Amino acid sequence: MSTIKSSTEHLTLNADGSGKDIKFQANGVEKASISSTGAFTSTSIDATKLSGTVPNFTSTGIDDNATSTAITITSDGRGLSQFTAKAWVNFNGTGTVAIRDSHNVSSVTDYGTGDYGANFSNNMANSNYNAVSSGKFYSWDSSYLIDSTTTSYLQIASVRSSNNTYEDTPIITAIVFGD
C-alpha cells in the first residue's frame, strides 16, 4: 500500500503528457478519475460533500429546467393534484344561502327547502368523483346526502331521516376528491 501525504503545502498529482488522466483506485478498481481536460468522474460520490452546480446533470424530478407539469398552482394560490381536494365548501343553508369559505366552488344555488347545488369554478373531468357532505345537526335525525353529481355542480340535500322531509340547515359542508 502506498500513501502520499503533504502536511505543510498543497499536494500535487501530475499526469505528464496529453490525454493522461489521474486515476483513483481501490483494490485495482477505478473509483474516480480526473481527465486531462479537468473533468471529474466517479462511480460513487458522497452527495453530502457537494456544493454548487453539478455539470451535465439532468434531473428527473421538479427543478428549474422541468418540461412537464408536476403541480398546478391556481390563481388563488392553492395547489391541485390527485392528492388534494378538487373542491370544498362551507355555507349557510338557512335564509339567503351564502358561502362562508370554499375552494373551486363559485356559488351555491338554493333549489328549495334543504336542497342545494354547489357550483364548481372549474368543472370536474367527469361526474364519477367522490363527494362527502356533512353539517351542523339542526335536529337529532338530520342527514346530509349527495343527491346528484355532474361535472359542473354537486347537489346536496339536508333530510330528516325520521320523516324523510327536507330541512334548511345553518351549516353545510361538502368536499370533493377526483378528476
pLDDT tens across 140-161, in order? 777 888 888 999 999 999 998 8
pLDDT tens per residue across span 66-83: 566 656 665 555 556 667
CA dihedral 124, 92, 155, 121 (to 10 degrees): -20
What structural domains and CATH numbers belong to the chain? 1-57 (no CATH), 82-177 (2.60.40)
Q: Are 43 and 24 contacting, i.e. CB atoms less than 8 angstroms apart? A: no
Q: How confident is the model at residue 63 (pLDDT cuts 50, 70, 90)?
A: low
- Report pLDDT digits (tens) over 35-57: 777 777 776 666 556 566 666 66
- pLDDT of residue 13 exceeding 90, the answer is no
Q: What is the pLDDT of residue 102?
A: 96
Do you know the residue count of the chain?
179
pLDDT at res. 47: 54
Sheet holding 40-42, edge to edge: 22-26, 29-34, 40-42
- Lowest mean pLDDT, pick from 34-38, 87-91, 102-106, 133-137: 34-38
Q: Which of 21, 156, 10 is nearest to 87 (CA)?
A: 156
Banded model confidence at residue 65, pLDDT cuts 50, 70, 90: low
Q: Evaluate whether 93 touches 170 at the Cβ level (below 8 Å).
A: yes
- pTM comes to 0.56
Percent of the chain surpassing pLDDT 70:
65
